[in-house]
Amino acid sequence: MSLFEYLCDSCGSMFDVELETAETDAPVECPLCHSHDTQVIPTLSSVYGYSHSATSGCGGEDSEFR
Ligand SMILES: [Zn+2]
């Protein structure tokens, strides 16, 4: 599991959702207005920051720092 930041296009609020990485293209309901008009905000920390501590062998993204 990793934490994703979402932006609601309906009410403009931002919220965090814990998801498997494979689920990020599924619609997420806004906790405030219950709209599904939401989009994930790609943050580098959630993409690259978790891999060496949180996940253990799920998914294909390994920690590959350059
Ligand atoms: Zn909303």
User: Would the pTM of this model clear 0.75, i.e. be above it?
Assistant: no
| Residue 63 belongs to some domain of the structure | no
| Residue 58 belongs to some domain of the structure | no
The domain in which residue 20 lies consists of: 2-48
Task: State residue 29's pLDDT score.
Answer: 93
Q: How confident is the model over 8-36, as pLDDT tens digits?
A: 999 999 999 888 877 666 789 999 999 99
Q: Which two tokens stand for residue 5?
A: 């930041």
| Strand order from edge to edge, sheet including 2-8 | 14-19, 2-8, 38-41
CATH of the domain at 38: 2.20.28
Domain total of the chain: 1
- DSSP letters of 13-45? -EEEEEE-GGGTTS----TTT--S-EEEE--HH
Task: State residue 42's pLDDT score.
Answer: 76
**Distance from residue 33's CA to the centre of ligand 1 (Å):** 4
The SS3 of residue 3 is strand
**Distance from residue 60's CA to the centre of ligand 1 (Å):** 31
**Distance from residue 14's CA to the centre of ligand 1 (Å):** 8
**Distance from residue 54's CA to the centre of ligand 1 (Å):** 28
**DSSP-assigned letter for residue 60:** S
**Distance from residue 32's CA to the centre of ligand 1 (Å):** 5
| Residue 25 belongs to some domain of the structure | yes
